[in-house]
Chain A
Amino acid sequence: MRKVMGSRYVFVSLMLVLALMLGACTSNGGNGAAESASPGASAEPTASASAAPAEDDGLYSIEDFNKVKINEGTALKGGSVTYGLVSDTPFEGTLNFNFYSSNPDAMVLQWFDEGLLTWDANYVYTNDGAATYEVSEDGRTFTFTIRDNVNWQDGQPVTAEDWLFAHEIIGHKDYDGPRYDSNFTNIEGMQEYHDGKAKTISGIKVLGDKQLQITYIQSTPSLLTGGVWTYPLAKHIFGDMDVAKISSSKEVREKPIGFGPFKVKSIVPGESVVFEKNADYWRGEPALDEVMLKVINPTTVVQQLESGGVDLVDSFPVDQYPDNAGMSNVEFLGMIDRAYTYIGFKLGTWDKEAKVVKPNDKAKMGDVNLRKAMWQAVDNDAVGKKFYHGLRWNATTLIPPSHPEFHDSTNKGVTYDPEAAKKLLDDAGYKLNGEFRTNPDGSELVINFISMTGGDIAEPLARYYVQSWAAIGLNVNLEMVEFNSFYDRVGSNGDDDPAVDVYQAAWQVGIDVDPAGLYGKDAIYNFPRFETEENSRLLAEGVSEKAFDVSVRQGIYKEWQQYMVDQVPVFPTLYRSELVPVNKRIMNYAIGDGTGIYLHQLAVSQDKPFVAEK
């Protein structure tokens, strides 16, 4: 149910920056709260051992968690729930899918608006949503039909005109949101429209009140997994507005409108929203009468849950889970996050003129044996257990298991073996000279490693990697860098800092599996600046016409995962889990995609939330 829509790739770090804004103070505060506030919960872990399967060794595994809430009792008619938006800053309040940029806003939006298409567990568009679609023979032209009973909350029908209007606004030169991306430039005539050379977008045609046709320049399997813009914009409301003024208008910020299961009743900017049910919702009348959304601080989320102050939350700080696994009034749902942490090696620079990756044969990290040895030297399994209680775990390939169709679970990556690492370095000519190794030519080898600050674990974790590398005789210098400077230096503007050799970062991957945006030749976010013919071939094949056949596409990405394991331009370190506690009175709720459970079904089994037993 919970979908982070829009961007197909987002910075994990960007979300962290919000959570970690207060750096040390909130983290300290958080621990303080947890310790002082939940003595009961930790004293009686057995009271509700069934709620969370904790193993004897204090480790947890994502496999023990469900994505779907187990229903207990019978659903009441009506009722109201409280939804906690866990954030230590107020939400921005850009409450329209066409304009929002932050995740908290998306969490508000999901209650009263939705996309016209839904997708299944493999993120492929289905025909179960508010609109259905058909693809032409050549895979470039999509015909969408909006269901007749899909109406805006003011009673006006959602039309093809509205859908076209959303494209026109996002493609407009004055548009100030972050959505004008490669999905839009792939529409025929969009570039001309954006540049002001055309009045209309030639590739989009309104065929009828409820029928829209979009022609894309390039047909790829990625179109079916998040490549279509599915959020209409109400033309009867925004049609006469100045494009640059829409995002700050009342109709976006104070009286937003959608066609989702609930309607916005009132908003206190930045802190709370009250929703009432939208009886005219196209899937049917919602079971609940009212939903109250409020922002709660990550430091108090545990108390809010225990006291029943909130029934549901959008996210839960995974590091607080081990202390609260026994909370008796909630069920923890869990799923694999679409993200991975990784360590990257700088192998070249960015050519700003040609806008392509420029590999450097003489790069310090240019020897694949050196990179592979550095992977072998680190025990990510132990990192996951020691630092994250098993809620993050050893990563093997660059397509995380959140994409079960494409993640190659038979590929074990490179496993921890410091002795093999030493041997590999010896054989490659990196000879020990005293404590550390030298380059094969005898010159001194000092590797510069940067990692991001933020949170309690950031520095100890980076130090662990440095120690592991020192253990195989590599002299690695660590520098902890603040988020903005970090990406500046890694090269998010194309000005790579030559002093950086190795870095640790994380990616949140999109619903589409295509990794070209991160490892392609012309991708500025290809921070390792890695480029080979083989890599380009595989990435191109992954989105080619023959890849429409899922088994072919699987084969291509399997090959690519192995190729990246062999070449080690970066190596994945950890996969992550996402946990969400849900009050036991909640029924018909699920996280993740393709569960077939929707918010209008959400119900409660009793009037008041369960309160934790102390």
Chain B
Amino acid sequence: MWKTIVRRIFIMIPQLFLLSILVFLLAKAMPGDALTGLVDPSLDPAALEAQRERLGLNDPWHVQYWNWMIHALQGDFGQSFRFKMPVSELIGQRIFNTIWLSVATLILTYLIAIPLGITSGRYNDTWADRLITGYTYLGFAAPLFIFGLVMLWLFGFHFDWFPTGGSVKPGVEPGTAAYVFSKIYHLLLPALSMALITTVTTVQLLRSEIIDTKQRDFILTARAKGASESRVYNRHILRNSLLPIAAFFGYEITGLIGGTVFIESIFSYPGMGQLFLSSISLRDFSVVTALVLLYGLASILGALISDLILSIVDPRIRIK
């Protein structure tokens, strides 16, 4: 298996390379650049032109790409024009917020999905099942940004149970227990809002898998051998039904790293999704390219993780 991992990582290099060229070309194809927004009559257009020259924005794309790549290989993704700070530092500041939000969301998603999915699959076509599937349909139909706002209003403003914005209480000393607690407290509501919506896919998936597995021959065999109902469900059905969910896990991570623009924006939670979107509209190219590359890397790694998990949980699959 190690061989496989190494090989997959080797394949990643040309993939990332191609991705970076593509991203670079697309970014350059967008109208305007970081200086377009500076339409300010007291600024001399010649000074703007000089800045373009200094930033290398006038060079042909392959020259720009080459310069960028040489630096990127050394871990230097350039300077954000808007934030006036190194891109790597900027992303570093944001990525932890996003990671914590993702982890919390992921945990909550599975905490909700697994019991609901099992109940719904095991007792399908009962009232409990109908209630749960009803909830999943609602979840599919409700747009995340509306749902997020409702949650924020209800639990943030109306009941005043949760903070209504930011990632940490202003003025708390970093590194203290109060800081960690405050961070978690700020995370809960956005993570829950997101989990309640994103979990519905997993619930549905698990439900249909369980219903499907229930009727397989080997379950009949297990029952015929006299296995107890709980043993049948826990050992035989559940393990087999979790396969596709496990396979999905890697992709799930990818999706979450991409950031959740709506949730971040509604909860004023500074994460990557927001950074990505605002960098595109302000043409902060160095940030955009670095982020897309990061997302690319995350999705390639996510696929790899999914494959690995699959090979662990399903002995029939062996990666060669």
| A interface, CB within 8 angstroms of B | 7-11, 14, 17-18, 21-22, 25-26, 28-29, 32-33, 36-37, 88-90, 92-94, 99, 101-102, 176-178, 180-183, 185, 247-248, 253, 265-266, 268-274, 292-297, 299-300, 303-304, 306-307, 309, 355, 482-485, 487-488, 492-494, 510, 517-518, 523-525
Tell me which residues across on chain A come within 8 A of B149, comparing CB atoms: 29, 32-33, 36, 299-300
Task: State whether B44 touches A294 (Cβ < 8 A).
Answer: no
Task: State whether A269 touches B261 (Cβ < 8 A).
Answer: no
B18 at the interface (CB under 8 A from A): no
Tell me the bound Cα distance from A37 to B164 in angstroms: 14
Tell me which residues across on chain B come within 8 A of A306, comparing CB atoms: 157
| B interface, CB within 8 angstroms of A | 30-32, 36-45, 47, 79, 82-86, 89, 93-94, 145-146, 148-150, 152-153, 156-157, 160, 164-168, 170-171, 173, 261-262, 265-270, 274, 277-278, 281-283
Task: State whether A294 touches B166 (Cβ < 8 A).
Answer: yes
Tell me which residues across on chain B come within 8 A of A299, comparing CB atoms: 149, 265-266
Residue of B nearest to A179 (CB): B43
Tell me the bound Cα distance from A183 to B268 in angstroms: 37
Question: Which of A94, A99, A274 meets B170, CB within 8 Å?
Answer: A274
Tell me the bound Cα distance from A178 to B123 in angstroms: 65
Known A22-B261, A292-B170, A494-B45; judge A178-B40 contact (CB<8 A). yes
Known A89-B278, A517-B41; judge A99-B168 contact (CB<8 A). no
Tell me which residues across on chain A come within 8 A of B277, comparing CB atoms: 21-22
Tell me which residues across on chain B come within 8 A of A11, comparing CB atoms: 37, 39-40
Residue of A nearest to B158 (CB): A37
Task: State whether A303 touches B278 (Cβ < 8 A).
Answer: no
Tell me the bound Cα distance from A493 to B170 in angstroms: 42
Tell me which residues across on chain A come within 8 A of B37, comparing CB atoms: 11, 14, 17, 483-484
Question: Which of A37, A92, A272, A484 meets B82, CB within 8 Å?
Answer: A92
Q: A32-B150, A484-B36, A492-B39 are in contact. List 17 more A-B contacts (CB 8 A).
A: A17-B37, A17-B281, A18-B278, A22-B261, A26-B145, A88-B268, A92-B83, A176-B84, A268-B166, A270-B93, A271-B167, A274-B171, A296-B164, A299-B149, A303-B157, A304-B164, A487-B32
Task: State whether A510 touches B85 (Cβ < 8 A).
Answer: no
Q: Shortest distance in angstroms between A485's beta carbon and chain B's nearest beta carbon? A: 4
Tell me the bound Cα distance from A26 to B266 in angstroms: 8
Question: Which of A247, A295, A484 meets B166, CB within 8 Å?
Answer: A295
Task: State whether B39 touches A14 (Cβ < 8 A).
Answer: yes
Most buried by B among A90, A296, A492: A90
Tell me the bound Cα distance from A306 to B30 in angstroms: 41
Task: State whether B145 touches A25 (Cβ < 8 A).
Answer: yes
Question: Which of B93, B153, B160, B171 meets A36, CB within 8 Å?
Answer: B153
Question: Which of B41, B79, B156 meets A248, CB within 8 Å?
Answer: B79
Tell me the bound Cα distance from A484 to B303 in angstroms: 36
Tell me which residues across on chain B come within 8 A of A268, comparing CB atoms: 166-168, 170
Tell me the bound Cα distance from A125 to B146 in angstroms: 48
Task: State whether A294 touches B170 (Cβ < 8 A).
Answer: yes
Known A18-B278, A265-B171, A297-B266; judge A8-B41 contact (CB<8 A). yes
Of the A-B pairs whose beta carbons lie under 8 Å apart in the complex, a sample of 15, sorted by A's number, is A7-B40, A21-B278, A22-B277, A25-B145, A33-B152, A36-B153, A177-B84, A182-B42, A265-B171, A266-B173, A295-B166, A297-B165, A297-B265, A299-B265, A484-B30
Known A9-B41, A182-B44; judge A94-B145 contact (CB<8 A). no
Q: Shortest distance in angstroms between A103's beta carbon and chain B's nearest beta carbon? A: 12
Question: Which of B43, B164, B278 meets A181, CB within 8 Å?
Answer: B43
Task: State whether A21 touches B41 (Cβ < 8 A).
Answer: no
Tell me the bound Cα distance from A101 to B43 in angstroms: 13
Task: State whether B157 touches A90 (Cβ < 8 A).
Answer: no
Tell me the bound Cα distance from A17 to B85 in angstroms: 21
Task: State whether A247 touches B39 (Cβ < 8 A).
Answer: no
Tell me the bound Cα distance from A482 to B43 in angstroms: 23
Tell me the bound Cα distance from A46 to B31 in angstroms: 50
Known A270-B93, A273-B170; judge A37-B157 contact (CB<8 A). yes
Tell me the bound Cα distance from A293 to B145 in angstroms: 25
Q: Shortest distance in angstroms between A426's beta carbon and chain B's nearest beta carbon? A: 38
Q: Which 4 A-B pairs have the closest CB atoms?
A: A517-B41, A484-B32, A272-B170, A274-B171
Known A271-B270, A487-B32; judge A9-B42 contact (CB<8 A). yes
Question: Which of A10, A93, A273, A493 meets B40, CB within 8 Å?
Answer: A10
